[in-house]
Amino acid sequence: MPDIRLSQVSRVFGAFKAVDDITTVFAEGTVTCLLGPSGCGKTTLMRMIAGLETPSHGSIKFGDRDVTHLPPGKRDVAMVFQYPVMYRTLSVIENIELPLRRDRALSPAEVRRRADEVLEVLQLSAERHRHIGDLDVGTRQKVAVGRAIARQCDVILFDEPTTNVEVHAKLALIRAFKDFRARLRQTVIYVTHDQTEAMTLADQIALMQSGRISQCAPPHVMYDRPESRFGGWFLGNPGMNFLSPRSREGSMLRFDVLSNAIAVPAGADGELSLGIRPEHVDVLAEPADDAVAARILRSSITIGGQQLLSLLVGEARLKAKIPPCEPPADGKTVFIRCRLEHVVLFNDGLRLPAPVTRAA
């Protein structure tokens, strides 16, 4: 399987840069999720990799093969879209076999073997003779995935394949995707604006913002060590808390949410902010070492049943996510602790690499 190498790839529409000077490598045999808000350029980038869109500038290679100006049919890519084109009057197996039969190099027996394999991996064997028109959206989308993987192309591209699928079918589709990954190791680019999907499926997430990749990293690295405030904000539900310093004296920096001053790190020459995720804020009923008093402004329940607390700490506002419990009363005083290993510092919106430490 080849890797996918993008070199200074841009796509402009009129004066608008939909994709802006991207240079990166998506490693062979891995799943990269392109994640980012609506309009950030995910589909445009994917369409250029597919050959459905030509870059205004830059080059795209699959391994050493320059595909920048090759049509889709010559690239050895398979695609699954949000609204896949299916032959509604044909059966499931016929839909999967049709593109394979066009490949003269494949014997009828091989076509059948591959179709059977994907039906089994995607747990579609019971549906093999049903007509596409009789299936629900989720199952139809599974067939589209099967049709793409059966071609055994070097590269498979997915553009938001679960967006129109109801939530349970979506989970089934994600499970099927993971099952097929365990068996076949094609290089996959998967576009989504759903961070949970990206966290679940990706070997690495390429987080996009305004036509650029702001960070490309494994999901847990992206979550724990976002390189920018944008990454901290975009990932998480809700995203990271950001706090401005209360004061800066010499080599000491104070924040309302920390009981002790921290050392001013190297490179802290711009506008500083502290980042901490809501689930990393410890909330205690009693005073404790390293904890500061906070007032509960509001509490609400998240989808997982956890409590989301809005807190006032000094003059700062902070969100904390705590395990399911009796909702604490608004106005109540609690004590919060932000452990330094979970704290990150941003300088003009970009994370400072040095670990955050207490001032001497």
Ligand X SMILES: Nc1ncnc2c1ncn2[C@@H]1O[C@H](COP(=O)(O)OP(=O)(O)OP(=O)(O)O)[C@@H](O)[C@H]1O
* CB 182 to Mg ion: min, Å: 27
Q: What is the Cα Rg of the chain in Å?
A: 24
Residue closer to ligand X, measured from CB, 234 or 255: 234
Residue closer to Mg ion, measured from CB, 53 or 94: 53
* CB 61 to ligand X: min, Å: 21
Whose tokens are 């994640």? That residue is 35
Q: At what angle do helices 108-121 and 137-150 cross, to 10 degrees?
A: 140
Which residue's CB comes closest to Mg ion? 43
* Dihedral of the alpha carbons of 101, 106, 109, 113, in degrees to the nearest 10: -90
* CB 107 to Mg ion: min, Å: 38
* CB 288 to Mg ion: min, Å: 47
Residue closer to ligand X, measured from CB, 195 or 273: 195
Task: Report the residue count for the chain.
Answer: 360
Name which of 210, 209, 211 is nearest 222 in CA terms.
209
Q: Are 62 and 155 in contact (CB under 8 A)?
A: yes
- In the complex, the residues that contact ligand X under the rule CB under 6 A are 13, 18, 36, 38-44, 193
Residue closer to ligand X, measured from CB, 48 or 149: 48
Cα of 68 vs its chain's centroid, Å: 26
Residue 280: DSSP 8-state:
G
Dihedrals phi, psi of 303, to nearest 5 degrees: -60, -40
Whose tokens are 């699928």? That residue is 165
CB atoms within 10 A of CB 188: 27
Q: Which of ligand X, Mg ion, none does residue 18 bind to, with CB < 5 to 8 Å depending on kind?
A: ligand X
- Is residue 84 classed as helix, strand or coil in its secondary structure? coil
Q: Which of Mg ion, ligand X, none does residue 33 bind to, with CB < 5 to 8 Å depending on kind?
A: none
Residue closer to ligand X, measured from CB, 11 or 351: 11
Q: Which of ligand X, Mg ion, none does residue 39 bind to, with CB < 5 to 8 Å depending on kind?
A: ligand X
Q: Which of Mg ion, ligand X, none does residue 41 bind to, with CB < 5 to 8 Å depending on kind?
A: ligand X
Q: Which of ligand X, Mg ion, none does residue 270 bind to, with CB < 5 to 8 Å depending on kind?
A: none
* CB 71 to ligand X: min, Å: 18
* CB 37 to ligand X: min, Å: 7
Residue closer to ligand X, measured from CB, 148 or 213: 213
Residue closer to ligand X, measured from CB, 57 or 337: 57
- Is residue 192 classed as helix, strand or coil in its secondary structure? strand
Question: What are the structure tokens assigned to 147, written together?
Answer: 């049709």
Cα of 92 vs its chain's centroid, Å: 30
- In the complex, the residues that contact Mg ion under the rule CB under 5 A are 43
HSE (side-chain half, CA atoms, 13 Å) at 211:
13
Q: Which of ligand X, Mg ion, none does residue 38 bind to, with CB < 5 to 8 Å depending on kind?
A: ligand X
The β-bridge partners of 294 are 334
* CB 285 to ligand X: min, Å: 43
* CB 280 to ligand X: min, Å: 29
Name which of 187, 83, 69, 86 is nearest 130 in CA terms.
86
Q: Which of ligand X, Mg ion, none does residue 226 bind to, with CB < 5 to 8 Å depending on kind?
A: none
Whose tokens are 């392109």? That residue is 34
Q: Which of Mg ion, ligand X, none does residue 193 bind to, with CB < 5 to 8 Å depending on kind?
A: ligand X
